[in-house]
Amino acid sequence: MSFKTYILNTNPDAADHEVHVLYECTHLPAFSNRENLGMFETCQSAVKEAKKRYPNWDINGCFYCSYDCHTG
C-alpha cells in the first residue's frame, strides 16, 4: 500500500466535515477551509485522526476520493 496525503474540510458540507485525498480529489474545499491531517495508508486512518482532533464534529470521507469512508 502507498501513503496518501489527507486533508480535512474545516467548513462543514451538509453538516459533515469531509476528509479528502490531496492531489487526487476533484472536489477539494477552498484553500482557506483545508487542514492537513498528514499521510496515511487508508482513509479510515485519516478519519480516525480527524475525529481525534475534533471529537464533537461529524466527520466522514469524501464520496469522490475516500468512498470507503463515506457515510452519506
Domain boundaries, the chain: 4-69
pLDDT of residue 69: 95
Provide the pLDDT for residue 38: 98
Q: Are 6 and 61 in contact (CB under 8 A)?
A: no
In order along its 72 residues, the chain shows pLDDT tens digits of 699 999 999 999 788 999 999 999 999 999 999 999 999 999 999 999 999 999 999 999 999 999 999 987
Number of Cβ within a 10 Å radius of residue 35: 15
Q: Which of 14, 56, 68, 61 is nearest to 37 (CA)?
A: 61
Give the cell for residue 60.
466522514
State the DSSP code for 21: E
- pLDDT value of residue 5: 98
pLDDT value of position 14: 80
